[in-house]
Amino acid sequence: MQPKLKFLDRYLTLWIFLAMVVGVGLGYFFPNMSIVTDSLSLGTTNIPLAIGLILMMYPPLAKVDYSLLPKAFKDKKVIGISLLLNWVVGTVLMFGLAVLFLRNEPDYMTGLILIGLARCIAMVIVWSDLAKANREYTAFLVALNSIFQILSYSFLVWLFINVLPEKLGLATYNVSVSMKDVTESVLIFLGIPFLAGFLSRYFLVKSKGIEWYNRIFVPKISPITLYALLFTIILMFSLKGDKILELPMDVVKIAIPLIIYFLLMFFVSFFISKSLKVPYERNASIAFTATGNNFELAIAVAIAVFGIHSPQAFVGVIGPLVEVPVLILLVRASLWLKKRYYN
């Protein structure tokens, strides 16, 4: 039976759009929102927002079965293709598109680069299931990306934002990030939910069994990601009531390179794997893992490093607004390609 997108996931773009409208409305009718928000901060960290961002990351990390990793490494071809596409092709492609389309708006450009460096560990399982991919392989790749993300994200941010633009003669803007700040945010907003997810999986599976964990616990916690994301969006946009007229055109500017990125990553990934005779079920797992991005992490890092008011954080919010409808179309494309090339 062909799986269907759950109600909350199917209308995710609509929920995000409505959250933006609610946030802007709150900011417009209650202009003192920023004072209230700032009063709930500890140093540069907004406490409610930090809790929301950690909760946003917890469910996808609690779903990952890290015990599958040793088995995954036995298929060196699939792992090699996936690592190349995710950590070389994907990061370089998003960097190139960010420079090409947003070079004159360095803050937005930086936000797009942050997205490109955050590989998908959440919605990819949904897309893979819909495209009839191999769920076990998708889980392998998600586990692999989760580990790589924790180990390499702060270094990649430093490399792609502080070093490469200058080396390529693009440093006509004054944007840089502290590797220390990014490492701290990754440890807080990825490390804490990673540890919580790993421990909850380990102890709950041990006490209740894997069947209970996957059928009862995971479905219960899954919606937390969406609720926390919408909470973050409402809070961010409540601070943008004065920029309401600028937002639609800015959304379009950010959406264009994102759409190009999703399309290129999917089709390049699919046909590279096909040329290497990778079976469809694994091919689709590789393609969707390479195409999606971890917007939750990009938003968390952008807010922690640049602030909740920042254009970089705004770019992170636009990401899932664009990703959901495009990836739904790519699921259909994947099923068509299966009939065309594999049946």
Please compute the mean of the pLDDT values over residues 315-329 and round it to a whole number.
85
Task: Tell me how far apart the alpha carbons of residues 27 and 25 are, in angstroms, rounded to a whole number.
Answer: 5
Q: Is the pTM of this model over 0.85?
A: no
The confidence band for 266, taking pLDDT boundaries of 50, 70 and 90, is very high
Least confident of 46-50, 168-172, 214-218: 168-172
List Cα–Cα distances, 284 to 78, 107, 250, 258, in angstroms.
11, 34, 32, 20
Give 109-136 pLDDT, tens digit per residue: 999 999 999 887 667 877 887 888 887 7
Residue 1 confidence (pLDDT): 47
Query: Looking at per-residue confidence, does 245 or 286 come out higher?
Result: 286
Give 198-257 pLDDT, tens digit per residue: 899 999 999 999 999 999 999 899 888 888 888 888 887 776 655 555 677 888 999 999
Residue 51 confidence (pLDDT): 85
Which run of H or of E encompasses 45?
strand 45-46
List Cα–Cα distances, 315 to 137, 139, 262, 321, in angstroms.
30, 28, 15, 10
DSSP structure class, residue 86: I
Residue 259 confidence (pLDDT): 96
Task: With a cut of 60, say whether residue 37 has pLDDT above it.
Answer: yes
Residue 6 confidence (pLDDT): 66
